[in-house]
A and B are shown apart, each in its own frame.
Chain A
Amino acid sequence: MGEPSAYRGAAITGVGFTEFSKASGRSVLSLAAEACRAAILDAGLEGADIDGVVTYQYLNDSVPAQAVAAVLGLGDLRHILDSGLAGQAPCYLAAHAATMISTGVARNIVIYRALNGRSGQRVGSARAPGDAADLRHDAGLIAYPQTIALWARRYMIETGATEADLAAVAIAQREWAARNDRAFRRSPLSIDEHHASPMVADPLRAVDCTTEVDGACAIVLTSDERAADAPHPAVGIRSAAYVLGRGGGLDMADSSSWPDLSRNHTSLLADRLWADAGLGPDEMDFAQIYDCFSSVVLFGLEGLGFADRGEAGEFVRAGHTAPGGRIPVNTNGGLLNEGYLHGMNTLAEAVLQLQGRGGDRQVPDAETGVVTSGALQDGSALVLVRR
């Protein structure tokens, strides 16, 4: 992203969700409209106030921004964006929307992610352009857990991390999920239960994988002036970063050219993110780290500088990321437990925490937090602050 001044004139003021389910029985358009409407009302606005609609999807698994604008009766749009980025998108798009507002292109923007991710098109089954997808399909790699397993195994070999470290992530986040009504998986998880969970793509077990769901999530951004009148505290973007590591653009399994499968985008963007924020990991009240799989949290903790190289597992096993820990991580239970809304809900959870609306899982006095989007060498991140 650009200079922080480019996006610091706007704030996030509202969030909206649909129910998360295994089979919504509804169109994606209906889910998207419901989440957007909820977020607009949450921000204290009306449909007529919204002049920007933004979304992201993965290979046509969702509905276009203009379609959602149409069904919500939004007529005077000034900004529209359909991004092809998937889980890498939410932090990037939030900063982008803030830039559009800060520079006067639009006044109030809604960003949504909507999909029937369980009952409809599932991630990994769709084919990206170019030959990259064929080059994995032919050898039986069709699903996302298999791709992440390649990275997880390389990380474990290089750092000495073990299955107990993966388990620790899943267990800590289940503790958070128990405090979140929206979470799909809420029952406590023991290490024995983790190790008894079916191995799907070695070293990843079923409980190391996100819960695919049908649903939608949205946030609303507005100008700083309007944010002062919003019903809930405004959440500002202190810094923002996006990065594409080499070889990440063709297909989710296009790891061919990425030299280090034991580090992801968080390692590439952390220096920029912290420098622009003027803050460091020690000053964060929480971290919401994109976690389609347990191993990705270990990458994020090390990439962002919360733990030293190879020590993220020990950090999590020591309880530092769990309720009451030094740096609460994925306080909604994460994508692992709340559901796989491709990181839109990860960002929304950060907003709720900074607004003091975390309920049973509220981090006391949360004023600053870091959020990431994406699992591989491409992704984005934000440092957020309560205004």
Chain B
Amino acid sequence: MSADPPPRFISPHAEGEFYWTSGADGVLRLQRCGDCRRYIHPPGPVCPYCHSRALSPEPVAGTGTIATFTINRKEWIPGFEPPYVFALVEIDEDPTIRLGTNIVGCEVDDVEIGMRVEVEFEANGEWHVPLFHPLPVERSEE
């Protein structure tokens, strides 16, 4: 990626705007149902599990696992310089929730399915864009 943040084309609907502003305090938030307590992503107008409308953003740990990814070798968007990784990250609180994001902080060829990652935020105009970098590999023995 270049030094300047790439163009991100964020024009959210009311229910989803928090996703790009939450990082102002360094915390990732996802929409959660106040009744059945499931997380919902993409954010919606009604809980798809229990049809409650008591939905609000709640903090999550910001850690997860790469479910799949693609390395973009072509310039799809002017200013969004290839190569870059688009990944689906399963969050630890609920692996059925997958966030579409970029993997940063490593070489694109080092990204793998199953890699453990952690959120960071890119300041980009009025937004704080959730991106993910690899977590150090945990070792069970010395």
- A residues near B (Cβ < 8 Å) are 130-132, 134-143, 146, 149-151, 153-154, 157, 198-204, 250-251, 253-257, 259, 261
Q: A139-B102, A253-B100 are in contact. Are A149 and B43 (CB under 8 A)?
A: no
**Interface contact A201-B73, CB-CB below 8 Å:** yes
Main secondary structure on chain A at its contact with chain B? loop
A-B contact count (CB 8 A): 116
Point out the residue from B19, B70, B100 that lies within 8 Å of A202, measured CB to CB.
B70
Check B113 against A140 for contact (C-beta < 8 Å).
Answer: no
The answer to whether B42 touches A201, judged by C-beta atoms less than 8 angstroms apart, is no
Please pick, from A130, A139, A146, A253, the residue contacting B44 in the complex, using a CB distance under 8 A. A130
Q: How far is the CB of B108 from chain A (nearest CB, A)?
A: 9
B8 surroundings in chain A (CB, below 8 A): 137-139
Q: How far is the CB of B73 from chain A (nearest CB, A)?
A: 4
User: Does B27 sit at the interface, judged by CB under 8 A?
Assistant: no
Q: List 10 A-B contacts (CB under 8 A).
A: A134-B12, A135-B99, A138-B10, A139-B100, A139-B129, A141-B86, A146-B86, A201-B73, A201-B74, A256-B99
Q: Which residues of A contact B113 (CB under 8 A)?
A: 153-154, 157
With known contacts A140-B80, A142-B77, A131–B70 Cβ distance under 8 A: no
Report the separation of the CA atoms of residues A153 and B131 in the bound assembly, to the nearest whole angstrom.
20
Chain B: residues with Cβ within 8 Å of the partner, total of 40
Query: Please, what's the 1-or-0 string for B64-85, where 1 marks a CB less than 8 Å from any CB in chain A?
Result: 0001111111101100100010
Closest-CB distance, B125 to chain A (whole angstroms): 12
Cβ distance A145 to chain B, nearest Cβ, rounded Å: 8
Which of B9, B74, B98, B131 contacts A256 (CB under 8 A)? B98
CB atoms of A198 and B73 under 8 A apart: yes
Answer whether A137 and B70 are a contact pair too, CB < 8 Å, given A143-B76, A146-B86, A150-B88: no
Closest to B41 in A: A256
A150's contact among B48, B70, B77, B129, by CB below 8 Å, is which? B70
Residue picked from B74, B80, B113, most chain A C-beta under 10 Å: B74
A contact residues around B102 at 8 Å (CB): 139-140
Contact between chains at B16 and A139 (CB < 8 Å): no
Instruction: Evaluate contact between B77 and A140: CB separation under 8 angstroms.
Output: yes
Most buried by A among B16, B44, B98: B98
Q: For window 102-142 of chain B, which residues contact chain A by CB distance below 8 Å?
A: 102, 113, 129, 131
Cβ of B77: which chain A residues have Cβ within 8 Å of it?
A: 140, 142
Once the chains bind, are B100 and A135 in contact (CB under 8 Å)? yes
Chain A residues contacting B100 (CB-CB under 8 Å) are 135-136, 139, 141, 253, 256
Minimum CB–CB distance from A149 to chain B (whole Å) comes to 4
Contact among B68, B73, B76, B99 with A261 in the assembled complex (CB-CB below 8 Å): B68
Say yes or no for B59: interface residue by CB 8 A criterion: no
Q: A131-B12, A134-B9 in contact; A139/B101 too (CB < 8 A)?
A: yes
Q: Which residues of A contact B9 (CB under 8 A)?
A: 134, 137-138
Q: Which residues of B contact A253 (CB under 8 A)?
A: 100
Interface presence of B96 (CB below 8 A): yes
A138 and B88: CB pair below 8 A? no
B residues less than 8 Å from A200 (CB atoms): 72-74
A203: chain B residues within 8 A (beta carbon) = 70
CB distance from B142 to the nearest CB of A (A): 30
B68–A151 CB distance below 8 A: yes
Residues of B contacting A153 in the complex (Cβ-Cβ under 8 angstroms): 68-70, 113
Q: Is A131 in contact with B16, judged by CB distance below 8 angstroms?
A: yes
Q: Considering only CB atoms, which chain A residue lies closest to B109 in the complex?
A: A202
Nearest chain B CB to A9 CB, angstrom units: 38
Q: Which residues of chain B come closer than 8 Å to A150, judged between CB atoms?
A: 68-70, 86, 88
Task: Report the bound CA distance from A339 to B15 in whole Å.
Answer: 38
Considering the chains assembled together, what is the distance between the CA atoms of A385 and B70 in angstroms? 40
> What is the bound-complex CA distance between A65 and B54, given in angstroms?
40
Compute how far the CA of A198 lies from the CA of B69 in the bound complex, rounded to whole angstroms. Answer: 18
Q: With contacts A137-B9, A146-B86 known, is A131 near B15, CB below 8 A?
A: yes
A319 to B36, CA, bound (A): 52
